[in-house]
Amino acid sequence: MAFEGLADRLQSTMKKIKGKGKVSEQDVKEMTREVRLALLEADVNFKVVKDLIKRIKERAVGQEVMESLTPGQQVIKVVKEELTELMGGEQSKIAVADRSPTVIMMVGLQGAGKTTTTGKLANHLRKQHNRSPLLAACDVYRPAAIEQLETLGQQLDMPVFSKGTEANPVDIASEAVQQAKADHNDYVIIDTAGRLHVDTDLMDELQQVKSSVKPDEIFLVVDAMTGQDAVNVAESFNEQLDLSGVVLTKLDGDTRGGAALSIKAVTDKPIKFAGTGEKLDGFEAFHPERMASRILGMGDVLSLIEKAQTNVDEKQAKELEQKMRTASFTFDDFLEQMGQVKEMGPLEDLMGMIPGASKMKGLKNAQIDEKQLVYVEAIIQSMTKKERQEPSIMNASRKKRIAKGSGTSVSQVNRLLKQFDEMKKMMKQMTGAQKGKKGKGMKFPFM
């Protein structure tokens, strides 16, 4: 794949810098170039990238990065902070009109997912806010668009207002609002036809719908896979309709979704929701911070570091490191380390935060079985002190006893012993290699 995360991209540049005592301006230039390419590969608009790079450069050339011991990590941190700031905080509130019904208008290009999102939003309003929406079918152009909304209405058991394909969208919208008043629906979601932002006639039509029903929210629905053109689309829809928010669809794909950043930058309107699946409940609040990580293709490595920092006692870590080097790592240490990892939260969450882990084939859908950890713990706790220190004394009768004590089988005990042995060998190799290189040793196998 042509896509690499920012972390990967920065690695080679960082290698060069690592040996140096001081980071030169040329180094910073190289780093920012990598940052720039990473953002562009993620489809962030080039103008937005330019502004960002300018700010990042300022901060990077300043004290912040230069004086830090790990300039690479520091650059990533600065970049992520800038991205997160640009994206703004989480905002998934939906307006409530003083007088019912609240009217929401859905607009966007063809194929962005307006109709599906209309259904998902209606479902969300009912489930999360206990509302009863009416759906209005104003897409009279695309064949079977009305049928699509009607089918969604059936699936959701919600009313759909339609007048066929001959009616005028402006009339349909205003009559739908009347209907909602009569039927005591507290929300009306208007599904409009997809249109190009440069199609003057159809954009006029949207303005007419807007002035006729005076919507409380106008959501631009945007495909997360949109490229550089996202700015043009968002800018002109916003200019002509004054949007109140954005819904980003198809986020369950493997796109980096740099469009999100572009849209936010040019419209300054919040991205409120994200479409994340084929089904009607694939709809959630938009998380700007997660998006920032995704655009950088780095997993949530920072929160992982933060988590590790708060949960791992530095002194203990040093001791452990020493033990690994001298290969005097015992089952007691193993137990302790496991405890620390567990404190950091569910393992699955942790895996998701490791950059690249999502790409590894076996790991992608791997359900990490936390129960296994309970067994491991039980087995170790059933060992005597001596056995924990010197696993080599293990024999058949000891294994039988341990299996009995931990409620497991001898084969499970054997497996653990074997894994432990392999782990130790690996540690030896890793620490050995580190010694040869010079520089700081490794801290944890999982970091």
- Say how far residue 390 (Cα) sits from the centre of its chain: 44
Instruction: Please report, for residues 122, 125, 136, 341, the alpha-carbon distance to residue 280 in angstroms, rounded to integers and kept in the order given.
Output: 9, 12, 17, 36
Question: Does 115 belong to an annotated binding site?
Answer: yes
CA distance 230 to 114: 16
192 is in an annotated binding site: yes
Consecutive H or E run containing 201: helix 200-213
Name the residue nearer to other proteins (CB basis): 112 or 312.
Answer: 112
Q: Which is nearer to other proteins, 228 or 340 (CB)?
A: 228
Given the complex with other proteins, which of 113 and 270 has the nearer CB atom? Answer: 113
Task: Establish whether 110 is an annotated binding residue.
Answer: yes
Going by C-alpha positions, the residue among 379, 307, 319 that lies closest to residue 344 is 307
Give the residues lining the site for other proteins (CB under 8 A).
Answer: 1-3, 37, 40-43, 45-46, 50, 109-113, 115-116, 142-152, 155, 196-198, 223, 225-230, 232-233, 250, 252-256, 258-259, 278
State the minimum distance, in angstroms, from the CB of residue 251 to other proteins.
10
The answer on whether 304 is annotated among ligand-binding residues is no
443 labeled binding residue: no
The CA dihedral of 405, 407, 409, 415, to the nearest 10 degrees, is -80
| Structure token digits, residue 77 | 């941190």
Q: Smallest distance from the beta carbon of 153 to other proteins, in angstroms?
A: 9
Q: Which is nearer to other proteins, 147 or 422 (CB)?
A: 147
Amino acid at 138: C
Which one, 188 or 295, has the nearer CB to other proteins?
295
**Nearer residue to other proteins within complex by CB, 151 or 303:** 151
Q: How far from the centroid of its chain's Cα atoms is residue 326's Cα? A: 40
| CB 200, min distance to other proteins, A | 12
> Distance between CA 296 and CA 294 in Å, rounded?
5
- Tell which residue, 36, 62, 31, has the closest CA to residue 48: 36
111 annotated binding-site participant = yes
CA triplet 361, 250, 298: central angle to 5 degrees? 50
CB of 38 to other proteins, least distance (A): 9
To the question of whether residue 153 is assigned a binding role by annotation, the answer is no
Minimum CB distance to other proteins, residue 147 (Å): 4
CB 229, min distance to other proteins, A: 4
Contact (CB, 8 A) for 219 and 105: yes
Residue ranges for the binding site for GTP? 108-115, 191-195, 249-252
Residue ranges for the binding site? 108-115, 191-195, 249-252
